[in-house]
A and B are shown apart, each in its own frame.
Chain A
Amino acid sequence: MRSGADRGSGGCAGRGGLCVFSIDLLLDAVVLGVLLGCFYAAVSLGLSVSFGLLDVPHVAHPAFLVLASYAVFVLNEQYGIDPLLGGLLITPFLFLFGLAAYRLYYETFEKRGSDAGVRGIAFFFGIAFIIEVLLILQFGVDQRSVTASYIGKAWRIGDMRIPFRLVVAFGVAAGLTILLALYLSKTFMGRAIRAVAQDQEALRLMGANPIRIKQWAFGIATAVLGISGALLIIVAPVDPVLDRAYIGRTFCVVVMAGLGSMTGTLVAAIILGVAESIVLTLFGASWAPAISFALLLGVLAVRPQGLFGRRS
């Protein structure tokens, strides 16, 4: 295997001299990992609602995410609007888009009942591809990135340096998670959404219209992408097919979290981020994806309902 003897290695492996550093290397790795994790959480939250709570196999979530990033990019490029602000600006449109998207999904699948799963997935894959191509035709295949005061600077703590981008991602992600968690637990609509996730029948008997509620929830899930998309393009440049890189990651986070648990999503994402960051820093970096997804498989094998799963 490659990252064995014939290849030197970073961090501590083999090289005595470096072991001294590996302690605060580890510390850095953990800190950066937590920040990265929060970023992952931010891009997964929407999915955690749409897939986690509504059981919509939303494979196009990352594609929507990239789409949002491009919207933010345009606002930033054309009018010099700050990416985060841009993200907020497009949020209402995304909400409406979400409502429409769910309506279409419902009419074509859930209404027909049995195994919407398979077709739903295919459907969203189709949507994702269409979005990819439209983006390519519009913007070309090159990467795009935004400019903002907090991109490219770092925050010094001793000899540790933390990129502002990630600090922003951290703050926003944390805020977003708390907001959503509160929304779902405190507001009437939020509780209704959770109820739908638990037991549609019960809700129907209570006279509420589950479809309406699910549509609303999907709207929320899509609206969140405004900010998530902004973070995506703040943290790293985006290109039209970037979504493929995030299908695995986002679903990994949501499933590992246990469906529909917002705080769970945050924690799972942080675990993923830290694992990735530590492997990148201290071991054969090229193994990073294997590690994080093996982690997911492990969790699923032991606890199919995820770390914070609600289902028995």
Chain B
Amino acid sequence: MTIPSETTAPLLQISALTKRFGGFTALDNVSVDIRPGERFGLIGPNGSGKTTLINCISGAFRTEVGTVTFRGEDITQMPAHVRTRRGIARSFQIPRPFRSMTVLENLMVALDFAVATDPLVSVAHRRETAMSILTGMGLAAKADASATTLSQVELRKMELARAMATRPKLLISDEAMAGLSSSEVDEVLDLLMSLAGHDITVIMIEHIMQAVMRFSERVMCLDAGRIIAIGKPSEVMANQRVQEAYLGT
């Protein structure tokens, strides 16, 4: 099922996407359009294919069936790093920092590679950029700390910061709030809110419902690799099958 696309041309267009691992079908004919600037929530029980879907968007997986189109360009066969340069950035369910680097260096990687490296842009200038991003995330103090010394919430923030450093058009946050205290959840949520909007589209995967409710303009629920509901948060929540999927009845 496809959503009747809105007036503006979609930023991300997924059509008839199917992903199999051996016999097991992780994504089954998934199609969805995401508008520029949209705040999009992705929910579903464990193993429903959420992470698989964003792996297919970010290029961690290649897909055999279906296409992924980003800003009018078919990126289905592109390797991940090219997609990143095209403007797709993500965080990971379990944070994946560059452990041997400082927080600042983590961002420098993004600035060195993702942003079309312009020799004229001096190292010093890149550092500034990185610092300003960190400041925006409230991580400035930790800039020279080793990534391994960060707390859970700081790791989450750093990953978002690193993602932002790639100057993304589309930011995918994969359970960035998992295992955080409620106050921390709000912190991160506000962060995502502030990022979204000004020409950055955000896809948020989340288990914490009220977070999704608060954040999303539109919510999609996956179950067993299929879209079982999509639309306004309230509608989706009300949906019979969604509740079944969650309550496992």
Contact = CB atoms under 8 A, between A and B. Distances in A.
Interface residues on A, range: under 10
A113 B21 contact: no
A114 B101 CA distance: 12
A312 B21 contact: yes
Interface in B82-109: 94, 99-100
Contacts of A201: 94
Nearest to A113: B99
Interface in A92-130: 113-114
B26 to A, nearest CB: 10
Contacts of B21: 312
Contacts of B100: 114
7 contacts: A113-B99, A114-B99, A114-B100, A201-B94, A312-B21, A312-B22, A312-B61
A151 to B, nearest CB: 44
Contacts of A113: 99
A57 B203 CA distance: 39
A258 B99 CA distance: 29
A114 B148 CA distance: 11
Interface string A174-213: 0000000000000000000000000001000000000000
A308 to B, nearest CB: 11
B18 to A, nearest CB: 15
A114 B146 CA distance: 14
Contacts of A114: 99-100
A312 B99 CA distance: 25
A312 B22 CA distance: 9
Interface string A288-312: 0000000000000000000000001
A201 B46 CA distance: 14
A113 B100 CA distance: 11
A223 B22 CA distance: 33
Nearest to A202: B46
A114 B147 CA distance: 13
A114 B99 CA distance: 8
Contacts of A312: 21-22, 61
Nearest to A310: B22
Contacts of B94: 201
A113 B146 CA distance: 15
A312 B63 CA distance: 12
B124 to A, nearest CB: 30
Nearest to A115: B100
Nearest to B93: A201
Q: Which of A113, A201, A312 is the most central at the interface, judged by chain B CB atoms within 10 Å of its CB?
A: A312
A274 B128 CA distance: 63
Contacts of B22: 312
A113 B99 CA distance: 10
A26 to B, nearest CB: 35
Contacts of B61: 312
A169 to B, nearest CB: 33
Nearest to B98: A114
A114 B100 CA distance: 9
Interface in B62-97: 94
B57 to A, nearest CB: 17
Interface string B19-40: 0011000000000000000000
A113 B147 CA distance: 14
A113 B21 CA distance: 28
A312 B64 CA distance: 13
A181 B112 CA distance: 48
A59 B61 CA distance: 31
B90 to A, nearest CB: 19
A114 B21 CA distance: 28
A113 B61 CA distance: 25
A312 B21 CA distance: 7
Contacts of B99: 113-114
A132 to B, nearest CB: 34
A201 B94 CA distance: 10
A201 B93 CA distance: 12
B130 to A, nearest CB: 23
B147 to A, nearest CB: 11
A184 B247 CA distance: 33
A113 B98 CA distance: 13
Nearest to B61: A312
A258 B61 CA distance: 20
A114 B96 CA distance: 12
Nearest to B21: A312
Interface string A150-168: 0000000000000000000
B211 to A, nearest CB: 21
Interface in B38-66: 61
Which 7 pairs show the lowest CB-CB distances between chains A and B?
A312-B21, A114-B99, A114-B100, A201-B94, A113-B99, A312-B22, A312-B61
A248 B99 CA distance: 32
A312 B61 CA distance: 9
B228 to A, nearest CB: 24
B64 to A, nearest CB: 12
A264 B237 CA distance: 47
Nearest to B99: A114
B70 to A, nearest CB: 23
